[in-house]
Structure 1
Amino acid sequence: MMDTGIEREARLPYYEQLKQLLLAEIAHNDLKPGHLMPSEAEMCARYGVSRTVVRQAVGELVSEGILQRMRGKGTFVARPKLSEQFMESTVGFFEDMTGHGHSVTSTVLSVDRIEVPDLVRERTGNTTATHCTEIVRLRAVDHEVVAFTKSYLNNDDPALLEHLRSVDLTSASLYQILEDSFGLRIESGHRSIEATAASSMMAKLLDVRPGEPLLYIESVGQTAQGTVAEFFRAWHRADRLKIEMDVVRSKRGPARLPPTLA
């Protein structure tokens, strides 16, 4: 029998063995990001396993960020995920990515004066404002679209709207523009993140399959005086982004163990 690398008598499941073989092939052959992997049929023939085994092994490597599927093109060695640390900082997406050496560009879909959406009222606690400024953008890192964002500014000043429509937001930081031109600086706030599935519209915008996982982020930004200045919503491609943050132990003091555990 041909040696496929799969040990038929081993207790380790075939798909797990195949995962290790594929990882070894990537490492030993120094396969670079973008390298096209064999098709399902080729892997079945090469390793003597079923399509079910191949799909499970490849699926787990995709979920772990080692491989990347591209519609109609195949499965490729994935690029390292973009590391974003803005969950613990008031810097925006632009400053975070450029600070790590990436280029960031935006396609501005709209800059409009709109009635304050109910969700914005709920998240910001602002029940008096009737209108706000909305900025809708597709964000690209190193020329690849990775996020769709909506920013809501708690400001109905016509001068602000006109200025934002006139400046080049394609390769600039919104936070920096607000600070430099209007003295509006985001000093603190709250951000949350959760998993969501790509809708058909979001799938088209971010070039993923409908139903694929996205990272959905909400943020409320405040000035030094505690005034809510901005609320934003962002949908990030989960296959291209990971969130990092530092943590510290609570200052409440050491935990006291029950006598039976002390």
Structure 2
Amino acid sequence: MDLMNTDTALALEDTTRQYDDSLDPLAGLAATRLLDLNSPTPLYAQLASVLADYIGTLGAQGVGRTLPSENECIQMFGVSRPTVRQAIAELVARGLVRKERGRGTFICEPRIIHDITHIFEDDMRAAHRQVKFYVLEHGDVTTPPELREIFGRQTKHLYRVLRQRSVAGRLIGIEQRFLPIEFKRHLTSKALNGHDLFSFLKLCTQAESFSSVNTVRAVSLDARTADQLKVPKGSAALVRESAYYVDQRARTPVMYGIVTFLAEQYQLKFRSSIKLHAEPAEEADRS
């Protein structure tokens, strides 16, 4: 019997089963959100949608809670085990749950979504989430060779700041910033522990806006960074490197940043315009 026939037989058999929604909100949801066997949407995707809605109804109170077991999902929704496993895998990929061997599947803290065209702290304020910093290191450093191309070969020293970044009490990243040495008079330890650096950039430059050049890459954390983020070595992370300029033509650098985020807790998004080729594809192929 193939997977669809297995799911069909189980779902038809399950249509007469009654659920007690006092046992768990998901049981009540299963009774009202019957999976559609005739839908072009795969059953695992339908089930993942129902489970995601269930996680959403729990809100903050659901974080750390276990999802029903595979057997419980099979009983409630009348689907096969492979379908349940595919649905759970979808939730894991979306960062909604995590699986722990021998323990079960747990609801995660929602991922932090950041529009890369905005200042991170502004996005968090708009979402009513408090951002805090903890300074690990700060002081003068010799300009790294790769940054001389940005700040100029005559720039012998920069001011470096290394901080932990947390959102709503959750440690999510490590930020390393390099700034012109003359800016350091504004950057006391007390100020660094309480503020984002863009307010200082505005104070130092009197600029109302900045341009930036960004790159994002996926990495596995080395031992030192993993220790700073309090996660196992090799954990997945996203690294965003950004050069900030006081003008739109990227001629006057004011800061270079390397921010490492835990991948399971963070999601980047950005808006962009797409310039199409002037010639239709057919004409270009003939030329």
The two structures have a TM-score, normalised by structure 2, of 0.68
- Tell whether the 8 Å contact from 1:111 to 1:164 is kept in structure 2 after alignment: no
Task: Give me the whole-angstrom Cα distance separating, in 2, the residues matched to 1:222 and 1:120.
Answer: 14
Partner of 2:129: 102
Moved more, 163-172 or 240-249: 163-172
1:248 aligned residue (246, 255, 273): 273
Partner of 1:258: 282
Task: Give me the whole-angstrom Cα distance separating, in 1, the residues matched to 2:71 and 2:231.
Answer: 26
Matched, 1:130 2:149: no
Task: Note the alpha carbon deviations across 1:33-89, whole angstroms, 9 max, x for none.
Answer: 4152158xx5468759xx999877645422221213589986422333222112xx3
- Tell whether the 8 Å contact from 2:214 to 2:242 is kept in structure 1 after alignment: yes
* 1:220 counterpart letter in structure 2: A
* 1:175 counterpart letter in structure 2: F
Q: How does 1:14-25 map to 2 (within 5 A)?
A: 21=47, 24-25=50-51
* Secondary structure at 1:27 match in 2: helix
* Secondary structure at 2:148 match in 1: helix
Partner of 1:77: 107
* 2:148 counterpart letter in structure 1: R
Assess, with a 3 A threshold, how the Cα gap between structure 1 residues 98 and 144 changes in structure 2: closer, same or farther. Answer: same
Considering fraction of residues, name the structure with more helix: 2
Partner of 2:202: 179
- Tell whether the 8 Å contact from 2:186 to 2:200 is kept in structure 1 after alignment: no
Partner of 2:147: 120
* 1:258 counterpart letter in structure 2: E
- Tell whether the 8 Å contact from 1:94 to 1:172 is kept in structure 2 after alignment: no
Matched, 1:232 2:257: yes
* 1:201 counterpart letter in structure 2: R
Assess, with a 3 A threshold, how the Cα gap between structure 1 residues 216 and 100 changes in structure 2: closer, same or farther. Answer: same
2:184 aligned residue (148, 161, 167): 161
Partner of 2:222: 199
Q: CA deviation at 1:216?
A: 0.7
* 1:144 counterpart letter in structure 2: R
- Tell whether the 8 Å contact from 2:135 to 2:162 is kept in structure 1 after alignment: yes
Q: CA deviation at 1:110?
A: 1.7
Q: CA deviation at 1:134?
A: 0.3
Q: Structure 1: which 5+ runs fail to align?
A: 1-5
Assess, with a 3 A threshold, how the Cα gap between structure 1 residues 136 and 166 changes in structure 2: closer, same or farther. Answer: closer
Aligned-pair Cα RMSD in Å:
3.8
Which is higher, the Rg of structure 1 or of structure 2?
2
Q: CA deviation at 1:191?
A: 0.6
Q: Structure 2: which 5+ runs fail to align?
A: 9-41, 76-80
2:6 aligned residue (2, 6, 9): 9
Partner of 2:78: none
Task: Give me the whole-angstrom Cα distance separating, in 1, the residues matched to 2:66 and 2:246.
Answer: 49
* Secondary structure at 1:127 match in 2: coil
Moved more, 22-31 or 203-212: 22-31
Q: Which has the higher contact order (CA 8 A, sep 6+)?
A: 1
* 2:63 counterpart letter in structure 1: G
2:63 aligned residue (28, 34, 38): 34
* Secondary structure at 1:9 match in 2: helix
Which portions of structure 1, spanning 4 or more consecutive aligned residues, are displaced by more than 4 angstroms? 16-23, 44-48, 51-60, 69-74, 259-262
